[in-house]
Amino acid sequence: MVPITLFAGFDLVSNMSSDFLPENSIVVGCGSVVLDFLATVAAYPKPDQKIRSTSFKIQGGGNTGNALTCAARLGLKPRIISKVADDTQGKSILDELQADGVDTSFIVVSKEGTSPFTYIIVDNQTKSRTCIHTPGFPPMKPNDLLESSLFAALNGARIAYFDGRLHETAQVVAREAVKKNIPILMDAERLREGLDDIIKVVDYVVCAEQFPQAWTEAATVPKALVSMLLSLPKLKFVIVTLGKDGCIMLERSEVTSTEEMDVDKLLESLEARKNESIYIPTCISSSATKLRAEGIGTICGRLYIGTAENIPLSELIDTTGAGDAFTGAVLYAICANFATEKMLCFAANVAATKCRALGARSGLPYRTDPRLASFMQ
Ligand SMILES: Nc1ncnc2c1ncn2[C@@H]1O[C@H](COP(=O)(O)OP(=O)(O)OP(=O)(O)O)[C@@H](O)[C@H]1O
Ligand SMILES: *[C@@H]1O[C@H](CO)[C@@H](O)[C@H](O)[C@H]1NC(C)=O
Ligand SMILES: *[C@@H]1O[C@H](CO)[C@@H](O)[C@H](O)[C@H]1NC(C)=O
């Protein structure tokens, strides 16, 4: 039997109050920054219906903008490589990032065209968030970024982040990051043009529920995670987020155990250890073992389940950008050398805090937030 352990955030609470920042906290993100137009509705409209919103907000969005704003509020020093247009939306996007301490000097401002924006309808009944995105124009091209800017952006960076957008530019930035031995984290939402070129050089992946199977064509999520570690030799871990069901993570480990375990069965045994009466995020993990994915291969690793916070319905406002909040917290955890269990509990806490306000950014916690106190010491 593979030993399984349960870890909960409250184990960390102590009277220590020293608060220190990671030594190197520069994170460089390349991807989308947009403006979100959010409207909450009592119930999702039918075609041709006219309804009123019950709450409304205009706020910055985009995976990179959100994840790096989260990272900034947690204490990191983010820089963003992206493109907006010289219009009111573009100005609003830049102002908001700057107010959060994100370095926008590597964001290209196009004289012509339009900045990207997204209409988001939050259904207060189902808590779903429906997005209608309009990409910015003209799209970012590698020539938009001077070589000197690229070097300056990556100078001294602890980690680089990509969201799979702006793939031509992202590929150039990723290649340079690899040259400089800067670790890379990728947020993989779905299959996108050019994604394969970047994912093959990344150290960490955080992905959406459908991604692992879409990318590997494996029969189950655990098998797909094994398949990803097998085909991406640089990959140290992959996390798949599952909304209110938390996340599953597979971490590569060096230890070679003689014991071999079917990865689907191991996940089942971890799931059996979930405790519904614990409302705060927890982490259930296996020890390092040889994991077999039938018909795919074996890998030595540790499997984890991170549970989500059980948020009271009256407090659950909007899940827009929950994944970005989670990823921003993972970026912080990597820079701060958090143990894996602590990282998963921390990220779920940060994401759950975000879900208590409308929009991808309003609810993002600051490092001084009492909810995070037990992690920040
Ligand atoms: N309803 C919820 N209750 C509690 N936690 C949630 C809820 N929804 C999301 N989370 C937290 O946020 C994390 C990421 O959520 P999710 O898997 O929905 O990301 P996503 O689909 O990438 O979201 P987005 O694309 O909007 O950023 C989850 O692992 C969980 O910790
Ligand atoms: C959502 O629904 C709840 C319960 O019906 C209500 O109290 C709340 O005001 C609504 N919020 C919005 C923004 O519509
Ligand atoms: C679940 O958690 C509660 C609260 O911490 C605890 O009292 C209970 O013993 C746990 N149940 C199991 C089956 O571990």
- pLDDT of residue 356 exceeding 50, the answer is yes
Which atom of ligand 1 sits closest to the CA of residue 319?
8
Cβ atoms 113, 138 nearer than 8 A = yes
Pocket test for ligand 3, best of 5, 275, 279 (most atoms within 8 A of CB): 275
- Give pLDDT, residue 17: 42
Ligand 1: atom nearest CA of 209 is: 17
Percent of the chain clearing pLDDT 70 (strictly above): 96
Q: What is the pLDDT of residue 15?
A: 41
pLDDT for position 10: 47
Would residue 187 count as lying in a domain?
yes
Q: What is the pLDDT of residue 12?
A: 46
Which ligand sits nearest to residue 327's alpha carbon? 1
Answer whether residue 47 is part of any domain.
Answer: no
Q: Which is the closest atom of ligand 1 to the Cα of 187?
A: 22
321: left (phi over 0), alpha (psi -120 to 50) or beta: left
Asked if pLDDT for residue 18 goes beyond 60, the answer is no
The pair of structure tokens assigned to 9 is 């955030």
Residues contacting ligand 1 via CB (< 6 Å): 208, 241-244, 246-247, 308-309, 311, 316, 319-324, 326, 348, 351-352, 355
* Residue 341 located in a structural domain: yes
Q: For residue 80, is it within any domain? A: yes
Could you tell me the strand order of the sheet in which 55-61 lies?
Answer: 55-61, 34-41, 117-123, 129-134
Which residues are CB-contacts of 203 (< 8 A; sequence separation ≥ 6)?
Answer: 183, 184, 185, 234, 235, 236
Q: Please report the pLDDT score of residue 21 as a whole number.
A: 83
Which of 326, 344, 346 for mutating ligand 1's site (highest number of atoms within 8 Å of CB)?
326
CA pair distance 135, 123, nearest whole angstrom: 23
Burial class (CB within 10 angstroms; exposed 0-12, middle 13-18, buried 19+) of 78: buried
Query: Where are the alpha helices (H) located in 164-248, listed in sequence order?
Result: 167-179, 195-199, 211-216, 221-231
pLDDT at 1 (0 to 100)? 62
Is 9 inside any structural domain?
yes
Q: What is the distance between the terminal CA atoms of the chain, rounded to a whole angstrom?
A: 35
Residues 304-323, mean pLDDT to the nearest whole number: 97
E-state strands within 171-325: 184-188, 204-208, 237-241, 247-252, 260-262, 282-286, 289-293, 297-306
Nearest CA to ligand 2 atom 8: 124
Neighbours of 45 (CB within 10 A): 12
Single pTM value for the model: 0.95
Average pLDDT over residues 143-166: 97
**334, 77 Cβ separation under 8 angstroms:** no
Q: Ligand 3, atom 11: nearest CA belongs to which residue?
A: 275
Assign 13 a pLDDT band (cuts: 50, 70, 90). Answer: very low
Question: Which residues are paired to 105 by β-bridges?
Answer: none
pLDDT beyond 70 at 2 = no
- Ligand 2 pocket by Cβ (under 6 Å): 40, 42, 54-55, 124
Residue located nearest, by CA, to atom 7 of ligand 3 = 277
Residues 256/300, Cβ–Cβ less than 8 Å: yes
Compute how many other C-beta atoms are within 10 angstroms of the C-beta atom of residue 55.
14
- DSSP code of residue 137: B
pLDDT digits (tens, 9 = 90+) for 219-253: 999 999 999 999 999 999 999 999 999 999 999 99
16 has pLDDT over 60? no
Q: How far apart are CA 117 and CA 136, in angstroms?
A: 7
Domain membership of residue 155 as a residue range: 4-41+56-376
**Rounded CA separation 198/112 (Å):** 29
Atom of ligand 3 nearest to the CA of 276: 1
pLDDT score of 11: 46
Distance 346 CA to ligand 3 centre (A): 21
pLDDT of residue 89 exceeding 90: yes
Place of tokens 């593979």: 2
CA distance 223 to 293: 5
Q: List pLDDT tens digits, range 157-207.
A: 999 999 999 999 999 999 999 999 999 999 999 999 999 999 999 999 999
Domain containing residue 63: CATH number: 3.40.1190.20
Q: Ligand 1 atom 20: the closest Cα is on which residue?
A: 323
Residue 348's nearest CA partner among 281, 250, 268 is 281
Tell me what the mean pLDDT of segment 322-334 comes to. Answer: 98
CA gap 228, 235 in Å, rounded: 8
Question: Is residue 53 over pLDDT 70?
Answer: yes
Which of 54, 55, 318 has most ligand 2 atoms within 8 Å of CB, for mutation? 54
Q: Are strands 4-8 and 282-286 parallel, antiparallel or unpaired?
A: antiparallel
Cα–Cα distance measured from residue 377 to residue 263, given in angstroms and rounded to the nearest whole number: 34
Atom of ligand 2 nearest to the CA of 55: 13
Query: How many domains would you assign to the chain?
Result: 1
Is residue 48 included in any domain, yes or no? no
| Residue whose CA lies nearest to ligand 3 atom number 5 | 278
Q: For residue 44, report the distance from its CA to the centre of ligand 2, in Å.
A: 13
| Cα gap 128→137, rounded to integer Å | 28
pLDDT at position 5 is 78
246: left (phi over 0), alpha (psi -120 to 50) or beta: left
Q: Counting Cβ atoms within 10 Å, is residue 23 exposed (0-12), middle (13-18) or buried (19+)?
A: exposed
pLDDT in tens, 246-294: 999 999 998 767 789 999 999 999 999 999 999 999 999 999 999 999 9
In a domain, 281, yes or no: yes
**Spatial separation of the C-alpha atoms in residues 203 and 150, rounded to whole Å:** 20
Closest to 38 (Cα-Cα) out of 359, 363, 364: 359
Which residue of 123, 241, 248 sits with most ligand 1 atoms within 8 Å of its CB, as the best mutation to test the pocket? 241
